[in-house]
Amino acid sequence: MSTLVAGVGNIFLGDDGFGVEVARRLAGEDLPPSVRVADFGIRGVHLAYELLDGYETVILVDATPRGELPGTVSVIEPEVQPAGRDDSALLNAHGMEPDAVLALLDVLGGRVDRMLIVGCEPASVDEGIGLSAPVQAAVPAALNVVRELIAETQQEDGDAGSRGIGSGAAGRGDDGGPIDRAGPGPLLQDPQDVGTPGA
């Protein structure tokens, strides 16, 4: 099963560069040949065209403000809606909002079977380069989550259905806490938290 891991965000807005940093580190690892890791920054159109290559799964890594403690890592598994999205989402297709990217992909005649979002609560998205201390500390935990999700996508369908995210060592944060994931639901539904480093 082909998988795209897309680091997204603006490195000039502090913690918004979280996904880019995770992708940068992951790109240097030995991954299955069916997995591609790339930094898409804020190029939503580029990402939509990349998805036309026929990936079954896309894992977006991004800063996701949800009102949690800075550095909290969460996983969202949204429903990938069929054709007929609101065309107004295309007005923001230059950005990285999942709705806008999927709307543009639909217009282009493509689709993705599954989307997972690995997000981190930012401390600051003010202008400036570099992650805050709590978000920088969350990068290893996010890498663990992405590795586990990649491993899941490589399994046979039967095995994948019986295995949880927190079932192995790779599915645990640096603090030893379990990894949890929300089930399928609407885009940007509230996910369960993976955890906060040092919590």
Q: CA distances (Å), 118 to each of 52, 88, 127, 181, in order?
A: 22, 25, 23, 10
Query: Model confidence over 54-90: pLDDT tens digits?
Result: 888 999 999 999 889 999 999 988 777 654 555 555 5
Query: Model confidence over 20-34: pLDDT tens digits?
Result: 999 999 999 999 999
Query: Model confidence over 120-155: pLDDT tens digits?
Result: 999 999 999 999 999 999 999 999 999 999 999 887
Range of the domain at 65: 3-195
Mean pLDDT of the chain: 76
Specify the pLDDT at position 168.
33
Query: Model confidence over 183-198: pLDDT tens digits?
Result: 333 333 344 455 556 5
End-to-end CA distance of the chain: 35
Task: For 18, list phi and psi in degrees, rounded to 5.
Answer: -55, -50
Beta bridge partners of 95: none
Computed from CA positions of residues 187, 193, 197, 199, in that sequence, does the dihedral angle turn out positive or negative?
positive
**Residue 12 maps to which CATH number?**
3.40.50.1450
Residue 101, both tokens: 């990217």
The alpha carbon of residue 66 and the mean position of all alpha carbons in its chain are separated, in whole angstroms, by 15
Length of the chain: 199
Residue 83, both tokens: 């054709």
DSSP, collapsed to helix, strand or coil, labels residue 91 as helix
Question: Residue 161 — pLDDT band, cuts 50, 70, 90?
Answer: very low
Q: Out of 8-12, 99-103, 183-187, pick the least confident.
A: 183-187
The bridge status of strand 114-120 relative to strand 73-76 is antiparallel
**What pTM, to 2 d.p., does this model score?**
0.74
Q: What is the dihedral of CA 12, 13, 15, 21, to 10 degrees?
A: -20
DSSP H/E element including 160: helix 157-161
Into how many domains does the chain fold?
1
Q: One-letter amino acid identity for 150?
A: I
DSSP H/E element including 68: none
Helices (H), 29-156: 44-51, 98-107, 133-154
